[in-house]
Structure formats: C-alpha cells, structure tokens
A and B are shown apart, each in its own frame.
Chain A
Amino acid sequence: MNAVEHQGADAPSHPDSRPAEQGIVISRGLRVYLRTMTPADLRHLSGWVDDPFLERMVGSEFLHSYKHVWDKSPAFYEAVLNDPTQVALMIEACHGWTKPVGVVRLFNIHLLEGYAFLETIITDMRAMKRGFGIEAAKLIAYYGMDVLGLRRLEAKVYEYNVLSMNSLRRNGFRQEGVLRQAGYDGERYWDLVIFGILRDEIEAVRRRDKVYLPLDPSEGNGRESS
C-alpha cells in the first residue's frame, strides 16, 4: 500500500479542558464524577491500602496488588493504565471534597464476550452513606455498556458488607448466588455473595434516573449521537 497523499497529524484535542495531570473526566453525575488516574493518585492509594477497615470490607485485589505485588511502586500506575482487562477511575465528589473519595473499576473485562466485574471502593468514612458509591457504580456501569460494549456486570460482596449489597440492589443488581466460605479475613471464612446485572436492566436503571443521559462524546462517553 502506498500513500498518494501525506498530511501531518492533527493537533490533539482534549476531551475536557482540565490539565492532563489532573486526569480526564470520563463521566459526570450529580454527586460525583469519574476521572482517569494520574501518577499523583498513588499517594492516595498508599494511604488506602493500609486501612484495615477497607481491607476487611472490600478485600480489593486492586489495592492488595498495589501493596503486596507492586510494593507501592510508581510503576503500578503505568501497569494499570495499560492493562486492557481493567478500567480504574478515581471518584471525585462534585462538592465539598478536596481529594478523591474512592476508586471504581471494571476488571476482568472480556470485550468479545461482553462481561466484566465491578468493584467500588469509597475510602473516606465521611463520604459513606451519601450515595457516592451508588452513583459511581452507576456511572461506570453506563460507561461499560456504552463505551466498552458490555452486556453483563458482576460483583462479589462479603456477606457482612450489607452497605455494599444494598448499594448494588439500588443500582438494579440481582443476587445470583453465594460462594460458600470463599472469603477469608485472617480469622474465619465468610460467604461471598454474587450479584449480576444485564444490559437491559442497566438501561432500565438509566430510564428510571433520567438525569443520567449519555454524555456528549467530547466528554469521553463515546456513545454515538442518534
């Protein structure tokens, strides 16, 4: 194949006006917005991975990996950024907070099969029970469906994490089963409760919450306008 015309690359355009070092806003809700990770976020992660409450309630492989596999190395940032099986986004409160309130991610993404797993971590105790986690999960679910083309999301919750189970139910997830004594907290075994949601159920949630319309593509949603 030979070029008959050569033109230089276009100047890149940013999805939003924020400096890249602050992260790119991917999705925006009423209470929170989701942005891409930046290298500076590692200092937040460094604090979160040492929180025993988070460890017990979430048992996040993401945080566990940062602490124990990557030994809090700065290289973790690039590894996450270039991992094609996960999308990790920082949760920022729209008002009243000066630092991220958590992280939400889709992982074990299977693009061809159309499914992935969801993990939502609200790290600031003051930010809990304010609907931040519910909205963050909702936004990334829409992102997974609209941008990644996913048709099913799955989440696992420790049986004692009632707050997370209620949050998933409020977002339309259904309990699909129980993995008996599949979790271990260092002292005893606990059941893991499996939740799932399908594309049409996510759409039903979006119709119910009319404020969550697809973002303009320029803000990162990628959904084509009709």
Chain B
Amino acid sequence: MSAAAIGKPEVGLEGLTRLRLAGPLTAATAPQFRARVRNVVQRGHARVMVDLQAVTGLDAAGIAALLDARRALLAQAGGTLVLRTNAIVCRALKDSGTIAAFALSHGSGM
C-alpha cells in the first residue's frame, strides 16, 4: 500500500477537530497530510486530534510531518495537537525519540 487515505476533518463536542489517517504515513504520503493540516489551520481550527489508529507504517518523513503539524498548531492561540495512536505508531515514535514531544491518546476517540 503506497497511499494514505486522509479523512475530512470532523469537529467533536470538545472542540477538537479530528483528522483520520489510514495506510502508511511515509515519504510518499506525508505531503498529502501536510497539505491537509495547512488547510485545517487556515480554516481556523487550532485544536486538532490526528487519529492514526488505522496507520500501517510511519517513517521519518511522516513523523517530521507530525512535528510540523504540532508546531503549526501550537503557534495558534489555544492550539493543541493530540495523536490517537496504535502500536505501530507508538513504536515509531519511541524509536525516533520523538514520543515525548506529542500528547497521546489511546482512547476510543470521538
């Protein structure tokens, strides 16, 4: 599988906008995710949950895109980024030494 499916943003009751990703978030697919995050920020959403539970692979380019999303959102007033993870994502974040940079949610989401 070489493409990531990125769902359209959903706004939850707690004001968190959820972006759902499926498939790999890698060098080949990270540009799509970056574009989607830019779009979400431009539309004024500053509190975002990225749902990665259906992500099947995460490489350095994917993690860099998540770090950039975090930077972009934290630069907004009241901005926040929460990652809803699975085992693959957690492993990649640990291996890359970036896991402490993110707020993680292991719950059921919206």
Contacts and interface: CB of A to CB of B under 8 A. Distances in A.
Interface of A: 1-15, 20, 24, 26, 36, 81-87, 89, 106, 109-112, 147-149, 217-218, 220-222, 224
Most B CB atoms within 10 A — which of A20, A84, A85? A84
A138 B67 CA distance: 24
B11 interface: yes
A7 B10 contact: yes
Interface of B: 2-8, 10-14, 16, 18, 20, 22-24, 26-32, 34-35, 38, 49, 57-65, 67-68, 88, 92-93, 95-98, 101, 109-110
The main secondary structure of chain A at its interface with chain B is loop
Nearest to A220: B31
Given A9-B22, A10-B5, A149-B64, A2 B12 contact: yes
Contact of B10 (A3, A85, A148, A149): A3
A111 B88 CA distance: 18
Given A10-B7, A221-B31, A222-B31, A87 B12 contact: no
Given A111-B67, A222-B30, A3 B12 contact: yes
25 contacts: A1-B110, A3-B10, A3-B12, A5-B11, A7-B10, A9-B5, A9-B22, A11-B5, A12-B6, A13-B32, A20-B28, A24-B2, A24-B28, A36-B26, A81-B57, A82-B59, A83-B59, A84-B62, A84-B92, A111-B63, A148-B64, A149-B67, A149-B68, A217-B31, A220-B31
A217 B35 contact: yes
Contacts of A11: 5
B32 to A, nearest CB: 6
A9 B18 CA distance: 12
B38 A224 contact: yes
A13 B31 CA distance: 10
Given A10-B7, A13-B3, 20 more contacts: A1-B13, A1-B49, A2-B12, A2-B110, A4-B10, A9-B5, A15-B32, A24-B28, A36-B2, A36-B28, A84-B60, A87-B27, A87-B61, A147-B27, A148-B60, A148-B61, A149-B67, A220-B28, A221-B31, A222-B30
Contacts of B101: 112
B11 to A, nearest CB: 6
A222 B13 CA distance: 32
A84 B11 contact: no
Given A2-B13, A82-B57, A12 B23 contact: yes
A198 B23 CA distance: 34
A146 to B, nearest CB: 10
Contacts of A1: 12-14, 16, 18, 49, 109-110
